[in-house]
Amino acid sequence: SSIYRFIPYAPPRVVFLQPTSDINRITTMHPAHTITSTGQNSGTNEDVVVTENAKAVCHRDLPAVNQDDRHKGTILLFYQYIEPEWTEAEHKQALKKVIEIGMKYNITGRGRVAPEGLNCTLTGKPEDVRSFCYSLRAWKEVFNETDFKLTDGVDFSKLFKSLSIRKATELVAYGLARGGSHLVISHF
């Protein structure tokens, strides 16, 4: 049996164990940190980073779906800042458009649409998730700059059950949109 351990540079949020035909693979919620145990193939228990999952997809085609993963799910993580920020009308239209595209491709998961951009963790069938990404690119040129992170081969029971895209005042909930107080260095 293989021994799994994480390389300490990336704390995982969720870990899925995925046995495949020739190796055992651990996939975190952040696909750039996929760890593969090579124990079954090489007789060792060394861990390696699967660099294919860490390649940026900005201004490039998304990776093709592995034949073994066609009948499983995909997790998509991404964020995209918008400059200049969306106006109130553009913000409202963006919320409507992201929900429309998600519904069209049976996407599930969670997302935030803020004047400063979009931040999502979504799930669905591999081809549907990729169609969602390409639809965002077709809608707004800025999404060609987005580094969509895809993790294929996820059991359907691990996918989100519904789609929730929320209008937000800030992309990441730091609580800074409500303002704060200025600190003088000598008081810090």
Q: What is the DSSP string of 61-109?
A: PPPPPPGGGTTSEEEEEEEEE-SSPPPHHHHHHHHHHHHHHHHHTT-EE
Region 106-113 average pLDDT: 96
pLDDT at residue 52 is higher than 80: no
Considering 14-28, 33-47, 164-178, the range whose residues carry the highest mean pLDDT is: 164-178
What is the model's pLDDT at position 73?
Answer: 95
Region 54-81 average pLDDT: 90
Residues of the chain with pLDDT > 70, as a percent, come to 65
pTM for this structure? 0.68
Region 158-173 average pLDDT: 91
pLDDT at residue 152 is higher than 50: yes
For residue 149, what pLDDT band results from cuts at 50, 70 and 90? Answer: very high
Region 123-145 average pLDDT: 97
Region 179-186 average pLDDT: 65
What burial class does residue 144 get, using C-beta atoms within 10 Å of its C-beta: 0-12 exposed, 13-18 middle, 19+ buried? middle
Amino acid residing at 125: K
What burial class does residue 109 get, using C-beta atoms within 10 Å of its C-beta: 0-12 exposed, 13-18 middle, 19+ buried? buried
What is the model's pLDDT at position 185?
Answer: 73
